[in-house]
Amino acid sequence: MKESNSPPVDINGKPFNRAGFVVVLLMGAFLTILNQTLLVTAIPKIIEDLHVSAYDAQWLITSFMLINGILIPASAYLLHQIESRKLYLIAMGSFILGTIICALSTTFSHLLLGRIIQAIGSGVMIPLVQTLMFLVFPANRRGEAMGLVGIVIAFSPAIGPTLAGWIVDVYHWRYLFYFVLPLAVINLFLAFYLLKNVIPLTKPKLDILSFVLSCIGLGSLLYGISLAGDTGWSNSIVWITCVIGIVILLMFSLRQLRLKEPLLELRVFKSRTFAVTTVIVSIIFMTMIGSEILLPIFTQKILGYSALQSGLILLPGAIVLGIISPISGKIFDRYGIRTLTIVGMTILLIGTFPFMFLTNETTIWWLIFFYMLRMVGMGLTMMPLATAGINALPQKLVSHGTAANNTVRQVFASLGAAIMVGVMTISVRNFSTSQHVLTEAGSYSKAMVKGINNGFMAAFVLVIFAFIICFLIKDNRKGR
């Protein structure tokens, strides 16, 4: 594995085909990540069909996020406890079972159960795929490998609402699961034949208390942040659950630092490169998720487009991101991370700035162009930064690094949506009250545009902060 053109080997030293291995991993990651946003545009139809409230229906998305967040930290333990091939089959099997339950569900409770079982597979799948991709490529091609993963991580959530909008407009919402199911079964079949065991098992002892603290802490924090995105930060339940989550996660962290075999090795953050790159990637990701929520609100509520049309507006940006990600990985492999990051962050800043000045007359092509420009900046930074961070760790900590990176990114993604939507909501309320526009014609439109602009202003400030701290990254190819 030291030579870029030599085939990878399994734990028994037998070489195997990298291409088939990678195709299986990327396909599995695409299907599981796609389901995070696949139901967003289908929620109104589900509410009508299953006779549930909007609050209940949002649990189809919130529960998926919570289970994902809870299981990701445990993935590092599972990777060293269960053979990687078997773990992948278990994760995809869980995802398939959940998909079948969702497709056949006739009640909301059955649909929610299916989503939870889907999320169990997805929560293990994402860090598993990243770790395996990292290990089957030599050091001088890891940027390329993570660029391929970047296509999936960024492209899947973006295409989800567009695909769902089309399916829901033409067919029943259950066809969302009918579409995914055969692809998942094909992936399981390919995985059975093409995946190999590449991670030596160390059989670490499971610390039950650490697992419980992780579940309660992350579950409470993610629930509080998610609730803030729906009800605002003034809700007392939001603060109570967030504080409880932070306190318990602090207890979890202190325990991990004392254990000989921690559930999640937090000493990975002792590496400055890993810590800084993880924070930057998480900030970029949180502004991406927040933007994917605010832009459809603007295009539907202000410009009057349908859910499908709103999704199509985001699609060119997703395609650009898919094209840029592997290219940026190759650039990273050849030239290192510092200059690439500065260029990418500069483009991201330039692309974000115009979104603070949206109006009722903003054209679709204007939105598409600057959204694509933002995606260029993200494509040049996200996965190269993640690769540089993981490269800075010893080989034995790679699985813990990917688990820690994904956990932080999951929290930041939820936080980004809550912050940007929260800023929008507060701005709408304050603008309406202070300007007395509630009785004027077009008052809702004025207040909403103001709120969305302020939401993007929050994103711009976050990107500025990420741009500043990117100068802390050491400029060498290994990222150490």
pLDDT digits (tens, 9 = 90+) for 311-352: 788 888 888 887 888 888 888 878 788 888 999 999 999 999
Burial label, 475 (beta-carbon count in 10 A; 0-12, 13-18, 19+): middle
Q: Is the dihedral of CA 282, 327, 371, 130 positive or negative?
A: negative
119 or 58: which leads in pLDDT: 119
Q: Give the Cβ contact number of residue 395 at 10 Å.
A: 9
Residue 1 counted as domain residue? no
pLDDT digits (tens, 9 = 90+) for 419-447: 777 787 777 777 766 555 545 545 667 88
CA–chain centroid gap for 98, Å, is 20
Q: For residue 459, what are its two tokens?
A: 């994103």
Establish how many alpha carbons lie within 13 A of residue 40's alpha carbon, considering only the half-sphere containing its beta carbon: 23
Section 221-235 average pLDDT? 76
Q: For residue 52, what are its two tokens?
A: 């549930």
241 and 317 within one domain: no
| Cα–Cα dist 186/22, whole Å | 15
142 or 261: which leads in pLDDT: 261
444 and 317 within one domain: yes
| Cα–Cα dist 126/153, whole Å | 9
| Cα–Cα dist 322/337, whole Å | 19
| Cα–Cα dist 124/83, whole Å | 13
311 and 245 within one domain: no
Name the band, by pLDDT with cuts 50, 70 and 90, for residue 1.
very low
The winner for highest mean pLDDT among 215-219, 277-281, 294-298 is 277-281
For 80-104, b/e burial (b = at least 16 CB within 10 A) is bebbbbebbbbbbebbbbbbbbbbe
Reply yes or no on whether the pLDDT at 220 is more than 80. Answer: yes
253 and 356 within one domain: no
Residue 88 counted as domain residue? yes
The winner for highest mean pLDDT among 7-16, 122-131, 360-369, 468-477 is 360-369
Mean pLDDT of the residues in the chain: 83
Q: Which of 162, 178, 203 is the last residue of a domain?
A: 203
Residue 349 counted as domain residue? yes
The range of the structural domain enclosing residue 56 comes to: 12-203
Residue 2 counted as domain residue? no
Geometric angle at alpha carbon 22, from 182 and 411, rounded to 5°: 80
Using CA atoms, how far residue 127 sits from 191, 416, 431, 479, in Å, is 17, 21, 43, 20
Q: Which residues contact 208 (CB under 8 A, 6 or more apart)?
A: none
252 and 159 within one domain: no
The winner for highest mean pLDDT among 61-75, 274-288, 390-404 is 274-288
Q: Which of 152, 177, 203 is the last residue of a domain?
A: 203
Lowest mean pLDDT among 34-48, 339-353, 427-441, 452-466: 427-441
The winner for highest mean pLDDT among 226-240, 283-297, 369-383, 384-398 is 369-383
Section 141-169 average pLDDT? 75
Residue 283 counted as domain residue? yes
Using CA atoms, how far residue 79 sits from 107, 215, 399, in Å, is 35, 18, 7
Q: For residue 40, what are its two tokens?
A: 């967003």
Name the band, by pLDDT with cuts 50, 70 and 90, for residue 27.
very high
Reply yes or no on whether the pLDDT at 36 is more than 70. Answer: yes
Provide the 3-class DSSP secondary structure of residue 9.
Answer: strand
Q: Which of 184, 203, 222 is the last residue of a domain?
A: 203
Number of domains in the chain: 3
Reply yes or no on whether the pLDDT at 143 is more than 80. Answer: no
157 and 16 within one domain: yes
Section 73-95 average pLDDT? 88
CATH number at residue 429: 1.20.1250.20
Lowest mean pLDDT among 5-9, 44-48, 241-245: 5-9
348 and 258 within one domain: no
Phi, psi torsion values for 389, nearest 5 degrees: -65, -45
Reply yes or no on whether the pLDDT at 75 is more than 90. Answer: no
Name the band, by pLDDT with cuts 50, 70 and 90, for residue 154.
low
CB 142 within 8 A of CB 134: yes
Residue 7 counted as domain residue? no
Residue 72 counted as domain residue? yes
CB 376 within 8 A of CB 318: no
365 and 218 within one domain: no
Using CA atoms, how far residue 62 sits from 69, 150, 354, 469, in Å, is 11, 23, 31, 31
Reply yes or no on whether the pLDDT at 122 is more than 60. Answer: yes
Name the band, by pLDDT with cuts 50, 70 and 90, for residue 152.
confident
Residue 432's pLDDT is what? 63
In angstroms, the first-to-last Cα distance of the chain is 20
> What residues form DSSP beta bridges with 87?
none
Residue 408's pLDDT is what? 83
Residue 480's pLDDT is what? 41
418 and 437 within one domain: yes
| Cα–Cα dist 367/316, whole Å | 11
* Number of helices and strands in the chain (H, E): 17, 0
| Cα–Cα dist 84/103, whole Å | 28
121 and 48 within one domain: yes
Residue 6 counted as domain residue? no
171 and 318 within one domain: no
Provide the 3-class DSSP secondary structure of residue 15.
Answer: strand
421 and 320 within one domain: yes
Q: Percentage of the chain surpassing pLDDT 70?
A: 92
The amino acid occupying position 177 is F
CB 89 within 8 A of CB 188: yes
Section 448-473 average pLDDT? 90
Reply yes or no on whether the pLDDT at 184 is more than 90. Answer: yes
Burial label, 190 (beta-carbon count in 10 A; 0-12, 13-18, 19+): middle
Q: Percentage of the chain surpassing pLDDT 90?
A: 23
